[in-house]
Amino acid sequence: MARRTVTRRTFLTTAAATAATVHLLKPSTVRSAEANSRVEVGCIGLGGRGGLIARMVAAQKGYQITAVADYFEPTARLRGEQLKVPAARRFSGLSGYRKLLAAKVDAVFLETPPCFFPAHATAAVDAGCHVYVAKPVAVDVPGCLAIAAAGAKASRTKKVFLVDFQTRTHEYFIEGIRRVRAGALGKIGLISTIYTDNGFADPPLTKTIEPRLRGLIWVNDVAIGGGNLVAAGVHAVDVGLWVAGRRPDRAMGASRASRARPHGDTHDVYSLTYEFADGPVWSHRGEHVNNVHGFVCRCMAFGRGAHFEGNYDGKTYLRGSKQAYRGGAVKNLYRSGIASNLDRFHKSIAEGVYDNPTVAPSVDSTLACILGRDAARAGSPLTWAEMIQANRRIELDLTGLKA
């Protein structure tokens, strides 16, 4: 078994070269090589988004799901049955991820609430696995720093570590922001980002947090999901950072819990200002109250004579410059972005590309949201340096949960 595994993993790193000579082989040999080149995957977290990604992974020829884990045993059992994973390789409970790693897989897909990402990603890299993780990458500063360390170790040990942001995969965003960064707007005076959407169910608290791990209820709890700004607003904030090309020096603002009968501790309306030394002013606002306004995720940048606008769902373009960019309407980015990242993840594994460029910007965008969240709650300015130095950990109460 050990010899077979080493041979298969070695094959993955040379798949690109092998593909050039596959046509010389017998059909039976080709079929065997294709099966042997598949990345054996363990999926950790199989709720709504996790279930969707597992189905998308299973539909790609380059992957084979060989193990699953979810805190809830019925979910692990159901998804395992659907994905044809043997019963002995379906794991549950808080320690399910460790059992999955001990069962040996090439790569893991992490789709749990983000409070668990730092521990899961660190353990996966230590176990020699490639890592595909959702966003935000953590709920606090120590968690973000742990993800940064895991990503760095992955590169050193020749493993792929990818964070699944969709906007960074789309050609209109890539080209539009490339031109912005090349000076198409001149000196940028204002960056404006917005993220709005309906909120999620927020039922009364119980003796344990177990019920809040289901159905995105966890977005309402800062210790589990980071709160609305971190868990959702991060999509718009990430694009704002991409445009700015650097971290903000400080943030200030205000936030409130505006929804009816809040039980979780997240604020759901917020207005923030990020400042840069000798740079643009960045305004970010968001709301997550059920008021039929619906979903908006947008970034605008205003310079001297030109402006850029990027929409997660809608027109993305640059106007008023010799480097104007017509762009177009971004559509179905949620699924198409995931599909692009799945392709990139597999290609990086197959071709041995371990630079892992998504890690640093994803850590920074999560940290920027934490900076804004904490500054708004405190009602006073907070600098990036102060946030990092404080290194405040948000403790998660796991009392009563199944090991």
d(CA 151, CA 158): 10
CA angle 264, 72, 89 (to 5 degrees): 145
| Helix or strand (DSSP H, E) at 302 | strand 296-302
Residue 129 shares a structural domain with residue 276: no
243 and 308 Cβ atoms separated by less than 8 Å:
yes
Share of the chain above pLDDT 90, in %: 90
Does residue 89 surpass a pLDDT of 80? yes
Structural domain contains residue 395: no
Token pair listed for 369: 């949201």
Does residue 3 surpass a pLDDT of 60? no
Q: How far from 130 is each of 63, 107, 126, 345, CA to CA, in Å?
A: 13, 4, 10, 9
Residue 144 shares a structural domain with residue 204: no
Q: Give me the chain's average pLDDT, please.
A: 92
Residue 199 shares a structural domain with residue 148: no
Specify the pLDDT at position 78: 98
Q: What's the rounded mean pLDDT across residues 352-356?
A: 98
Structural domain contains residue 202: yes
Does residue 331 surpass a pLDDT of 80? yes
Residue 323 shares a structural domain with residue 266: yes
Domain containing residue 183: CATH number = 3.30.360.10
Residue 236 shares a structural domain with residue 311: yes
Does residue 58 surpass a pLDDT of 70? yes
**CB half-sphere exposure, 338, CA atoms < 13 A:** 19
Q: Which of 29-33, 175-179, 246-250, 297-301 has the lowest mean pLDDT?
A: 29-33
Structural domain contains residue 345: no
Residue where one domain finishes, among candidates 163, 189, 205? 163
Identity of the amino acid at 183: G
End-to-end Cα separation, the chain, in angstroms: 30
Identity of the amino acid at 41: V
Q: How far from 324 is each of 240, 320, 364, CA to CA, in Å?
A: 19, 6, 28
Identity of the amino acid at 177: I
What range defines the domain where residue 129 resides? 2-163
Specify the pLDDT at position 368: 98
Identity of the amino acid at 328: G
Residue 12 shares a structural domain with residue 87: yes
**What pTM, to 2 d.p., does this model score?**
0.91
d(CA 256, CA 242): 27
Considering only CA atoms, which of 239, 18, 319 is closest in space to residue 10?
18
Structural domain contains residue 401: no
d(CA 386, CA 252): 13
Residue 205 shares a structural domain with residue 258: yes
Q: What's the rounded mean pLDDT across residues 20-38?
A: 42
Residue 231 shares a structural domain with residue 113: no
Residue where one domain finishes, among candidates 163, 186, 217? 163
Choose between 15 and 276: higher pLDDT.
276
What is the per-residue pLDDT across 204-255, written as a single tens digit (0 to 9) for each?
Answer: 999 999 999 999 999 999 999 999 999 999 999 999 999 999 999 999 999 9
Considering only CA atoms, which of 153, 159, 117 is closest in space to residue 135?
117
Residue 111 shares a structural domain with residue 225: no
Residue 369 shares a structural domain with residue 323: yes
d(CA 187, CA 176): 16
Does residue 383 surpass a pLDDT of 90? yes
Does residue 29 surpass a pLDDT of 80? no
Structural domain contains residue 396: no
Does residue 5 surpass a pLDDT of 60? no
Identity of the amino acid at 342: L
Share of the chain above pLDDT 70, in %: 91
Q: How many domains is the chain built from?
A: 2
Q: Which residues contact 84 (CB under 8 A, 6 or more apart)?
A: none
Structural domain contains residue 342: no
Structural domain contains residue 180: yes
Structural domain contains residue 280: yes
Q: How far from 270 is each of 33, 68, 281, 306, 365, CA to CA, in Å?
A: 53, 37, 17, 28, 17
Domain containing residue 7: CATH number = 3.40.50.720
pLDDT-based confidence at residue 34 (cuts at 50, 70, 90): very low
CB atoms within 10 A of CB 354: 17
pLDDT-based confidence at residue 21 (cuts at 50, 70, 90): very low
d(CA 131, CA 36): 20
Specify the pLDDT at position 36: 53
Query: If phi over 0 gives left and psi between -120 and 50 gives alpha, with beta otherwise, what is residue 305?
Result: left
Does residue 10 surpass a pLDDT of 60? no
Residue where one domain finishes, among candidates 110, 130, 163? 163
Residue 33 shares a structural domain with residue 172: no
Does residue 4 surpass a pLDDT of 50? no
What is the per-residue pLDDT across 139-184, written as a single tens digit (0 to 9) for each?
Answer: 999 999 999 999 999 999 999 999 999 999 999 999 999 999 999 9
Residue 195 shares a structural domain with residue 47: no
Whether omega for the bond prior to residue 136 falls within 30 degrees of 0, making it cis, is yes
